[in-house]
Amino acid sequence: MVRKILFLASNPTDTARLRLDKEVREVGEGLKRSNERDQFDLVSKFAVRVDDLRRGLLDYSPRIVHFSGHGNGSGGILLENEQGLAAEVPDEALAGLFELCAGQIECVILNACLSDQQANAIAKHIPYVIGMNASVSDEAALEFAVGFYDALGAGRSIKDAFQFGRNAIALKGIPEHLTPVLIKKRLKAAERQRLESSYMPGRDVYMEVSVMNEDASSWNHGNDTTLRYSLDRNEKRIRIAANIGYLATFDGGGPIAPLDYVHSPTWCAFKWDFPVLDFKVLNNGQTPLFLTEVVFDIEESSPDVAPLLTIKKDTQQRNAGDLLLVNEGWCDLTDLTVSFHLLPGKLETPTGFGPPFEHLISVPVLGDHAEVDVVEAFRQEGVDVDGLILLGNGKWEQGNFVVQKGDGSEERMTDAEMQARWKKCLGPFHDEVGTLVGEISFTGCANASRRRVKFFAPVYLANRNRLGILKPPTFGYDIAFDSQNANYQRRVQISQELQPGEADRFTVKVAVAQSSLHRFRATLRDVSGMSLQSLPIEMNCFVPRSRRKVVENAINPPQTKNQ
């Protein structure tokens, strides 16, 4: 189990200068060279404000919290305010914050002057807390931190690491080795009974299990799509639940809105990971422990087939006329009905989710995903869909826009006439977008009751850089790059025709024999010699090693004897 260390440094501009950067560097280098370097993950934050402290505890779920900076005795440790000046943190508020995170933190170090008062307050909730009972010099604070983490990285206990930290100060001849103090949490009878009941049999040996959450600080798609594991504990059991704000909204009947799949680093609408169980073992005995195994006796494992439906956001405006439904649950949804009003424009906070609905579309079975065609609803609301398609298939000839009529004849019009015709075809949907507002009803697995969820979603009438309803890529091509080579060239023969005013797209799939990084440019050429060159491209290709033979055979098919 990796123990995450959150190093928080604060040196307000109106306080004496400290070498906090040197401290975190020395600690990091010591951990990197230690025998158990793979068991620690050091995260450092500088110029820490009160909000940064709270967010760091929530975002990183650290096992060890190390604060380095100034302390003011009864005034508390000093963080920074918005202007970079010193801001005192009250003892009770600081202890209360750590109480909220008590299930995940095993040790807190306050490497700051006169911080023993805050350490005592925090020790009511955290097993081990280290503070300073007097003013401490910058040099002594540095030596203590290096000695402490050197020992921790060597596999020693927190109690032993504390003594090594003290000794590191003494070895340098600094008369401050008694300044650091270690305070252990005084367990109440009920707490000790709970810990003893959940730990391995053995005198003076205790175990506690909790759950950690993954760092989500880089996720910028909102808390409603971030998975968090919560823990509920009583005297008889521990319950770990997966919580997503979106799921709570969905289970509550909505309204749900489209989610972004395209710009997500996970290529999914949710920030998720598997649960990480956090085992805490306390050995108050006199003999060492050598733990070699964790055995899970599973009483039962069963699938969770609760339905979960999402609407995929048309981020790149490429799915004109379609409502994109995604089934994120682990059972097919049957007898799905989309009932809705269709309102002009892209509405951010629509109202009127109730019946009677003007439009209804049925989907017999929703497996993985479905593109629900709502073009007919636009037609019923006054959009000349046929006219839009006709204009979308038109082309420019000698300054005129030419469209092919249904009877085979041609109609020519000026740009102004074409724009006027386009606007007329849109009817009340002048912005080329309408918002569906209504509800989706469905049945989940066998014997499940029918569910309903309110929703709203914009649907476009035209795709970006195109007229009319979506046209797919007209063709796809393939090419293979070398996995290791330099200054070479690959050519793909293509055949694409674009008339004036037209847009088109095609694809080129790049195959490689193994995971590799490629830097290149792409140039398009036409028969006249005209060239279009891309910006420099860096492409990292991933190929699973287990699929190596399959990929190699696809790129270089084996020769048969007849060849």
Quote the tokens at residue 311.
């609407």
Q: How many residues are listed for the chain in this entry? A: 563
Q: How confident is the model at residue 504 (pLDDT cuts 50, 70, 90)?
A: low
Q: CA geometry: angle at 106 spanning 103 and 112, to 5°? A: 120
Contact 353, 437 (CB under 8 A): yes
Residue 547 is predicted with a pLDDT of 54
Q: What is the pLDDT of residue 466?
A: 47
Q: What is the DSSP letter of 140?
A: H
**Does residue 111 surpass a pLDDT of 50?**
yes
Higher pLDDT, 282 or 121: 121
Helix or strand or coil: residue 481?
coil
Q: What is the pLDDT of residues 48-65, one digit of tens each?
A: 999 999 999 999 989 999
pLDDT, position 473: 45
Return the CA Rg of the chain. 32
pLDDT score of 262: 76
> Residue 467: is its pLDDT beyond 50?
no
User: According to the 3-state scheme, what is the secondary structure of 222-268?
Assistant: CHHHECEEEEEECCCCEEEEEECHHHHHHHCCCCECCECCCCCCCCC
User: What's domain 3-186's architecture?
Assistant: 3-Layer(aba) Sandwich (3.40)
Name which of 288, 57, 66 is nearest 155 in CA terms: 288
Evaluate if residue 178 carries a pLDDT over 90: yes
What are 403-438's pLDDT values in tens digits? 887 777 888 988 888 889 999 999 999 999 999 999
Burial of 345 (0-12, 13-18, 19+ CB in 10 A): middle
- Asked whether the predicted pLDDT for residue 140 surpasses 90, the reply is yes
The number of beta carbons lying within 10 Å of the beta carbon of residue 303 is: 8
Residue 302 is encoded by which pair of tokens?
């069963």
What would the two tokens of residue 168 be?
A: 């590191």
CB 510 within 8 A of CB 541: yes
Phi, psi of 196 (to 5 degrees): -65, -35
Q: In the prediction, which pLDDT does 540 show? A: 66
Give the pLDDT of residue 470. Answer: 36
**Cβ neighbour number for residue 79 with a 10 Å cutoff:** 23
- Looking at per-residue pLDDT, the higher value among 554 and 5 belongs to 5
Statement: residue 497 has pLDDT above 70: no
Better pLDDT: 470 or 550: 550
Least confident of 191-200, 398-407, 541-550: 191-200
Residue appearing with tokens 């203590």: 144
Cβ neighbours, 10 Å, residue 173? 7
- Residue 159 to residue 68: CA distance in whole angstroms: 20
Which residue do the tokens 């805490």 mark?
A: 280
Which residue type is seen at 448?
A
Residue intervals in the chain for CATH 3.40.50.1460? 3-186
Of 83-92, 203-212, 336-345, 435-444, least confident by mean pLDDT is: 203-212
Q: What is the pLDDT of residues 444-464, one digit of tens each?
A: 876 678 999 999 999 998 876
At CA 251, angle to CA 246 and CA 254, rounded to 5?
A: 70
To the nearest 10 degrees (0 to 180), the angle between helices 138-153 and 158-171 is 140
Q: What pLDDT score does 164 carry?
A: 96
Find which of 129-143, 277-291, 399-413, 514-528 is predicted with most confidence, using mean pLDDT. 129-143
**Mean pLDDT score, 323-350:** 92
Residue with tokens 């060890």: 64
| CA dihedral angle for residue 97, residue 99, residue 101, residue 106, rounded to 10 degrees | 120
Residue 1: the pLDDT is: 54
Q: Which secondary-structure segment (H or E) carries 37?
A: none
Q: Is the pLDDT of residue 194 over 60?
A: no
Q: State the average pLDDT over residues 437-443.
A: 95
Residue 199 CA to chain centroid, in angstroms? 34
- Residue 128 and residue 9 in contact, taking contact as beta carbons nearer than 8 Å: no
Look up the pTM and report it.
Answer: 0.49
Kindly state the average pLDDT of the residues 475-503.
68
Give me the percent of the chain exceeding a pLDDT of 70. Answer: 78
Highest-scoring range by mean pLDDT, 188-202, 212-226, 251-265, 450-464:
450-464
Neighbours of 447 (CB within 10 A): 6
On average, the pLDDT of the chain sits at 82
79-89 pLDDT tens trace: 999 999 999 99
Given a cut of 60, whether residue 257 has pLDDT beyond it is: yes
The pLDDT value recorded for residue 533 is: 57
Per-residue model confidence (pLDDT) at position 222 = 64
Cross-strand partners of 541: 516
Phi, psi of 559 (to 5 degrees): -80, 140
Find the range with the poorest average confidence among 56-65, 346-355, 429-438, 469-478: 469-478
CA 14 to chain centre: 37
pLDDT score at 381: 94
Q: What is the dihedral of CA 11, 15, 17, 20, to 10 degrees?
A: -20
3-state helix, strand, coil in the chain (%, to 5): 25, 30, 45
Q: What is the pLDDT of residues 8-31, one digit of tens each?
A: 999 999 999 998 999 999 999 999
Closest C-alpha to 394, from 375, 411, 416: 411
Q: What is the mean pLDDT of residues 285-290?
A: 66
| Dihedral, 411, 416, 421, 422 alpha carbons, nearest 10 | 120
Distance CA 9, CA 356 (A): 59
Average pLDDT over residues 348-376: 92
